[in-house]
């Protein structure tokens, strides 16, 4: 059984707030799933290489340059032609909960 302290530690690492009842619930749920996963210990993997992706490929890269094609063509659904050319940046900032002077605004860290 995974300890309550461990559940709290994992929740903090995952940045998940949990209620008291949930700590108990997750303690039970995670323990039963982890017990099931113990089954993997039956397999001898001493000589096996790990697989991260089913298709082997690595370091697929494009040139690090600004690409006009990647800029989002913008058709504003709620307002007029004037904003029709708003940049991708503005469109993304529109989705942010809080912005100030074109930046994402966050609460104090300390």
Contacts to other proteins by CB under 8 A: 2, 6-7, 10-11, 13-19, 22, 26, 29-30, 32-34, 36-43, 45, 48-55, 57, 60-62, 70, 72, 75, 77, 88, 91-92, 94-98, 104, 106-110
The least CB distance from residue 81 to other proteins, in Å, is: 15
Closer of 85 and 94 to other proteins (Cβ): 94
The least CB distance from residue 68 to other proteins, in Å, is: 13
Q: Could you give the angle at which helices 4-13 and 20-37 cross, rounded to 10 degrees? A: 100
Rounded Cα–Cα distance for residues 40 and 44 (Å)? 9
Closer of 1 and 33 to other proteins (Cβ): 33
The least CB distance from residue 13 to other proteins, in Å, is: 5
The Cα-based distances of 70 to 24, 34, 75, 88, 89 in angstroms read: 47, 43, 15, 9, 12
DSSP of 24-77: HHHHHHHHHHHHHHGGGGGS--TTPPP-S-SS--------SS--GGGSPP---S
Closer of 17 and 102 to other proteins (Cβ): 17
The least CB distance from residue 64 to other proteins, in Å, is: 14
């Amino acid at each position: 059984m995974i300890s309550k302290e461990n559940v709290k530690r994992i929740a903090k690492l995952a940045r998940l707030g949990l209620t008291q009842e949930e700590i108990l619930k997750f303690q039970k749920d995670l323990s039963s799933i982890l017990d099931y996963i113990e089954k993997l210990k039956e397999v001898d993997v001493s000589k096996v290489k790990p697989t991260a992706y089913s298709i082997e490929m690595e370091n697929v890269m494009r040139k690090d340059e600004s690409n006009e094609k990647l800029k989002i063509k913008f058709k504003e659904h709620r307002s007029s032609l004037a904003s029709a050319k708003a940049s991708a940046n503005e469109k993304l900032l529109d989705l942010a909960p809080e912005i100030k002077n074109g930046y994402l605004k966050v609460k104090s860290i300390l």
